[in-house]
Structures are given as structure tokens and as C-alpha cells.
């Protein structure tokens, strides 16, 4: 079983994917992926929202529980959604605690900033492992003005590096770096002792994470820094079309798909 300690001490590249339901989580685990992130990316990927902002704590908790029930060997990380943390310490600790205590997550992920340094330390002190997240933080999309690359100036890069160091010192066991320059991601990876996991941050991170719907080719669009390794959307379309045609033609269900119980024939 992959543990927080395993991730922190990993010498091989760390592999992480999102999953939002039990069947997908079973498949992801069977392939040997190290970490499953139950991401608030579910808002865009599976819940039909235009952003992650509408995702609720209850939705993440429910889907984390489904993923946790379906897996035994993979580290499960619950993504704390917008306004579920950072408003008050009590609410932040309570919401994160629910993900571990009730949903079965092994750790939580926080979209990080100056406001999450003390919270990270507090959660770790209470026994809740924290994965930090810097760079493009989608919960700040309204403040950022979109989903463009972050930390592209010397000042912004320095601030991100300082925040990375601060969260490592606060006890985070790993750090997601999203959509930042590859050379900055490499510098952060060299500067801190905890592993970095990149998404749109180049090849020099200690691991990589992508959204499952991008990887399998389920969505109509994926970000330019992602890659489709399959075409599940076309396969689903093929299968559903074949089903519809079989029903319309009377081919399905056939005799082998139905059972006859002779004892009830007298009823009619």
C-alpha cells in the first residue's frame, strides 16, 4: 500500500491521477498508479460546471468515500473545495477531518497561499497529512482573471519559491505545481525536501498528475499541457450507438438475454 511516507521518500517518479467514482478508481489502482486525487476538478470534468467553484464539501466527501471503498493499495487524497478551508480554523479543521475520518481519505490537498501556511501546520499536528498546491490555483480564477500560466515574472517566481519552502517547513508531505514555467518548477524541486508533482510544469518535478478524463480522452477538450493517451469518448459513442441500433432493430434482447419461468404460465 502506498503511504504518505512512501510518497515523501519516493525515488522513482510519482504517478497521480484524478478519479471521482468507484469503477474508475478500481481501474486506476489496477494499473499501479501511486496516488488518486479526488479533485475538485470534478466540477468541470463530471458535474457539468464551468469551474471548480460550485463544488461542495459534501460532493467531494461522497466521491472520496466511493474511491476509498474501491481501493486498497493507492494513496487517496481528497481535494478541499472552495471556501471549505481558510475561512476559520475550526471549520477548516472540521471539513478536512471529515475527509479523513468519515470519507476514508489518506490525506487532503489545499490550494495554497500565505493563508494556508499555519493551517497546514495545524492539520499536520492533528494527524491530517497535507498536500500543498501552488501556481495556477483554479479556486482563484476570478482573482487571476483566467487559467493562464503563473509565476512568469522574477518577483512572482520568488514569491512562489518562498511559499513552497514555507509549506514544506509547515509539514506538507508533497507539493503540486500547476502551470508554471518548467525552469521555475525545476528550481522549486531542487530547493525543497518534499516531492513536487507537476501538472503543466515541465519534466523536472518528482512526479506528474493529470485529470483522468483528459488522459483517457473522455472530454471534448483538454488543456494544452495535457495529453490524451486514449479515446474513450469514441468507444463510448460506438457502444451506445450499437445498443440503440440493436434495440430499434429488435436484435436486443435476444432469447439468451431473457429467462422464462414455466410456473407462472397459468397466470395468463
- How far is it, in rounded angstroms, from Cα 8 to Cα 174? 7
178 is catalytic: yes
Catalytic pick from 178, 251, 255, 262? 178
- How far is it, in rounded angstroms, from Cα 94 to Cα 87? 12
Going from the C-alpha of 127 to that of each of 130, 134, 214, the distances in angstroms are: 9, 22, 33
- How far is it, in rounded angstroms, from Cα 117 to Cα 207? 23
Peptide bond into 253 cis (omega under 30): yes
- How far is it, in rounded angstroms, from Cα 25 to Cα 83? 26
- Residue 171 has φ and ψ, to the nearest 5°, of 115, 5
DSSP letter assigned to residue 81: P
H, E, C per residue of 22-73: HHHHHHHHHCCCCEEEECCCHHHHCCCCCCCCCCCHHHHHHHHHHHHHHCCC
Going from the C-alpha of 229 to that of each of 18, 36, 232, the distances in angstroms are: 15, 18, 9
Could you tell me which of 26, 103, 12, 16 has the C-alpha nearest to residue 72? 26
- How far is it, in rounded angstroms, from Cα 41 to Cα 209? 12
Catalytic residues: 178
Amino acid at each position: 500500500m502506498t503511504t504518505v511516507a512512501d510518497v515523501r521518500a519516493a525515488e522513482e517518479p510519482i504517478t497521480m491521477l484524478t478519479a471521482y467514482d468507484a469503477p474508475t478508481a478500481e481501474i486506476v489502482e489496477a494499473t499501479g498508479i501511486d496516488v488518486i486525487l479526488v479533485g475538485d476538478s470534478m466540477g468541470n470534468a463530471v458535474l457539468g460546471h464551468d469551474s471548480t467553484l460550485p463544488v461542495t464539501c459534501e460532493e467531494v466527501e461522497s466521491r472520496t468515500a466511493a474511491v476509498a471503498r474501491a481501493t486498497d493499495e493507492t494513496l487517496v487524497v481528497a481535494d478541499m473545495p472552495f471556501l471549505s478551508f481558510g475561512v476559520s480554523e475550526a471549520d477548516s479543521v472540521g471539513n478536512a477531518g471529515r475527509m479523513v475520518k468519515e470519507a476514508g481519505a489518506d490525506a487532503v490537498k489545499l490550494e495554497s497561499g500565505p493563508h494556508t501556511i499555519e493551517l497546514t501546520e495545524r492539520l499536520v499536528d492533528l494527524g491530517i497529512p497535507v498536500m500543498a498546491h501552488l501556481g495556477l490555483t483554479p479556486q482563484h480564477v476570478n482573482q487571476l482573471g483566467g487559467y493562464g500560466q503563473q509565476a512568469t515574472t522574477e518577483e512572482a517566481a520568488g514569491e512562489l519559491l518562498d511559499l513552497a519552502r514555507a509549506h514544506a517547513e509547515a509539514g506538507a508531505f508533497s507539493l503540486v505545481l500547476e502551470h508554471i514555467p518548467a525552469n521555475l518548477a525545476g528550481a522549486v524541486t531542487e530547493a525543497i525536501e518534499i516531492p513536487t508533482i507537476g501538472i503543466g510544469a515541465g519534466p523536472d518535478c518528482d512526479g506528474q498528475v493529470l485529470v483522468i478524463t483528459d488522459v483517457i480522452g473522455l472530454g471534448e477538450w483538454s488543456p494544452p499541457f495535457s495529453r490524451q493517451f486514449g479515446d474513450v469518448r469514441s468507444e463510448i459513442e460506438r457502444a451506445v450507438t450499437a445498443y440503440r441500433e440493436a434495440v430499434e432493430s429488435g436484435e436486443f434482447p435476444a432469447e439468451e438475454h431473457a429467462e422464462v419461468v414455466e410456473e407462472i404460465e397459468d397466470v395468463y
